[in-house]
Amino acid sequence: MEAQSTLQVFVNGDFVPAQQAFLHISDLAIQRGYGVFDFFKADKHKPLFLNDYLERFYNSASLMYLPVPYTKDELRQILQKLISLNNLEESGVKMILTGGYSENGFDPAAPNLIIQQQPLVLPSKEKVKKGISIITHEYLRDLPIVKSINYTTGIRLLHHMREQNAEEVLYFNSGIITEFPRCNFFIVTEDNTLVTPAHNILKGITRKNVMALAAKKYKVVERDITLQEVKQAKETFLTSTTKRILPIVKIDGEVIGTGKPGPITLELLQDLMALEQEVLAETVR
């Protein structure tokens, strides 16, 4: 708690204490929910898989016609400075690019860039050991390939989710599974093939890493998955930057597989943690 009160935030060129990080109400995120963001992990002073996250951030911005006010190299330097100022052990770094201070409350202006860093809260070992319950909901995000700030549906469903004692909500569209508001989805089929949705999703960096790791040992396929198929899967799990791999043991009240985290799921989690350590060891700062 002590540490958090002195954290620095980057706002449009300045490093300011988090308590003093404000945007004027004419910002298009406040007026019209218009903006993009991205989020990566840093271990001590080293960002993990930063190239991939920057690539996606610039791509989201471009698809929303929001020019990032810095080159990738300049942004890297800003990120490195923020991370060194805050000096956290394990953290999450969030970059938000909004539609800017709009004169008429609708037309975008020069984008505002905010970069926040916070201590990372990983899922507990207990949670990984037990697995989680999820529910499903029919919904398709506006522009799935863009990491926009629009979470209207995801946040509105929090009430419904908690009423059902679920930890996440999995979206589907016309019977085909897509993604979670903030995570990707995988199943392990009867013949030990890893399958993950191919269309109408945000392509997660952890999803990409897990696919590469899994491909060393198993068959990995990107394709449509039906809601029905999910409930017959041997194992299911989600992937995300903060959650890494989290086993799913119940969907819409139905037990998946044995009702316990599956061996392939747990094996891939070990592989992912090993990969992170490997990448961290590569460059000693």
Chain positions contacting a second copy, by CB under 8 A: 9, 11, 19, 21-25, 27-35, 64-65, 94, 96, 98-99, 105-108, 114, 116, 139, 142-143, 148-156, 158-159, 182
Q: Which is nearer to a second copy, 32 or 231 (CB)?
A: 32
Longest alpha-carbon distance in the chain: 58
Residue 251: CB minimum distance to a second copy, A: 22
Residue 23: CB minimum distance to a second copy, A: 6
Residue 7: CB atoms within 10 Å: 20
Q: Which is nearer to a second copy, 121 or 215 (CB)?
A: 121
Q: Is 35 exposed, middle or buried (0-12, 13-18, 19+ CB in 10 A)?
A: buried
Is 182:161 a contact under the CB 8 Å cutoff?
Answer: no
Residue 29: CB minimum distance to a second copy, A: 5
Residue 24: CB minimum distance to a second copy, A: 6
Residue 132: CB minimum distance to a second copy, A: 16
Cα of 1 vs its chain's centroid, Å: 24
Q: What is the distance between the alpha carbons of residues 176 and 78, in angstroms, rounded to a whole number?
A: 40
Q: CA 52 → CA 32, 115, 203, distances in Å?
A: 28, 17, 11
Is 112:23 a contact under the CB 8 Å cutoff?
Answer: yes
Q: Which is nearer to a second copy, 12 or 51 (CB)?
A: 12
Q: Which is nearer to a second copy, 9 or 205 (CB)?
A: 9
Q: Which is nearer to a second copy, 171 or 237 (CB)?
A: 171
